[in-house]
Structures are given as structure tokens and as C-alpha cells.
Amino acid sequence: MTINVPLKENERVDDLNRCGYRIIQDPGRFCFGMDSVLLSGFARAGAGDQLLDLGTGTGIIPILMAAKTEAAHLTGLEIQADSVDMARRSVQLNGLEDKITIMEGDMKEAEKLIPAASFDVITANPPYMNINHGLRNPEAPKAIARHEILCTLEDVIRAASRMLRPGGNFYLVHRPFRLAEIMITLRHFCLEPKRMKMVHPYVDKEPNMVLLQANRGGKPRLSVEKPLIISVKQGVYSEEIREIYGF
């Protein structure tokens, strides 16, 4: 069944290679990157799980997780009204209104919108850079997505801890250069790191992303998984990347 939704100026519809799902994007604002796709491949959600994506942007992670998992319901929380509108239209485009809810709001005040400890799984692809990392235009959507303008790392982890049920899992993609800070902050908010996977652009290059799973109230024991290599050579993705993308 073909579902048509209105597109605004400069918007386009991209195929996600999963269940025929598509997403509306505006290249002038911000388009999802590989980090969101990798997080959707790393995160796990079982049948009946309630999932929350913090800072969902245009809804890429809930849509991919709806395709890849048996989660009962997925919620995306986003503070930027334009992104919320785009995400809601993408949900409608895919006929997922009964499966995905996009909410407008600040994750720092999530408990005003959603009861605390309501989710089994929480995902987040937060801004990687603090305000000292080359910030130029704090009003631009791309700057908000990349820099800690509207939320900090601590804000994200605090929100995840508050919204997770005891025993629930938090999945995060970030940059390795902030790994020590991430680990300390997770533990401060009773989220115990359980799985870690480094992502390397090539086998002989240092990692440029890290994928983490933390458990609310879990016991100390961290499993470090084999690295994920993005490309075997220039322009050729690894088999693992091709599988994650559904090529």
C-alpha cells in the first residue's frame, strides 16, 4: 500500500532498505548518519518491550528499530519542532502510527511528559561535541545535532536512568575520546556498562565511534566485543556493515 504525505520545500524521501520503510529528510537541516544506523544494529529489544529514543531527530532510530526488532511500542522524544513534524510525517509515510509515537519535549523534563521508569530499552545518539568544540552557529539544526547546545552528555544519561525500568538497558553511540567521561557518568547514574564495541573506519585506523550498552542497576562486568570495521578498502563496505544496512 502506497501512503502519500505532504513534503515541504527541500525535503526528500529516502529508502531505508528495511521492510520497505522510508524517511523524510531535509539536507539543509540535518540528515541521519551511519552512527544512527550502527546504533540500531547494536541495540536489542525483545517482544513486548517499550522503547524510548532520546533526541530522536527525524525519527530514524525508532523507524529502524521497528523494522529490526519485536518491540511492542517505540517512542521518540525530540525538542526541535521542525524535526518533530518531519518525524511524525515519516511515521505516517510508513503506516506506523500504531507502533511509533513522536513526542515534542525536552529530555531534561521527560518526567513531565512520560511517567518515570516506563521503558525497557532506551537509545540515544546525542551530540558528540561540547560547546568548546568549534561551535559556530548555535541556532542551526546541524549545530544542535552535533554540539551540546540543548543537552549535555550528563543530561542524556540522567534522563535515560530516570526513564528506564530497573534492569532495563540503555544503548548509546558516541566518540571514543569521551569514553572515560561516559563511563564515569553512566555509573554515577546507576547505569552499569555491560557491552562495548569500537567502530573503526578501516582495520588499520583508530576507532572513531563507540557503541555502548548499560544496564540500570546491573552488576559490574563489561564485555568488549570484536571491533566493527566499516570499510575493507576505499569505497567498499565490510560484510558486517552491509548486513546492518540491509544491502
Mean pLDDT, residues 5-24: 93
> Is 222 domain-assigned?
yes
Task: State pLDDT tens for residues 97-125.
Answer: 999 999 999 999 998 999 999 999 999 99
DSSP secondary structure letter of residue 47: T
> Is 5 domain-assigned?
no
Q: How many domains does the chain have?
A: 1
C-alpha to C-alpha distance for 118 and 108, rounded to whole angstroms: 16
* 130 confidence band (pLDDT: 50, 70, 90): low
- For residue 181, what are the contacts with CB-CB under 8 A and spacing of at least 6? 153
> Is 4 domain-assigned?
no
Q: For residue 147, is pLDDT > 60?
A: no
> Is 231 domain-assigned?
yes
> Is 117 domain-assigned?
yes
Give the predicted TM-score (pTM) of the model: 0.92
Say if CB 8 and CB 59 are below 8 A apart. no
pLDDT for the residue 142: 52
Which class for 140: exposed (0-12), middle (13-18), buried (19 or more C-beta within 10 A)? middle
* 148 confidence band (pLDDT: 50, 70, 90): very low
CATH of the domain at 60: 3.40.50.150
Note down the domain range covering 44. Answer: 12-245
> Is 7 domain-assigned?
no
> Is 2 domain-assigned?
no
* 228 confidence band (pLDDT: 50, 70, 90): very high
Measured torsion, CA atoms of residues 77, 58, 148, 218, in degrees rounded to the nearest 10:
50
* 136 confidence band (pLDDT: 50, 70, 90): low
For residue 73, the surrounding DSSP H or E stretch is: strand 73-78
DSSP secondary structure letter of residue 69: S
C-alpha to C-alpha distance for 5 and 2, rounded to whole angstroms: 10
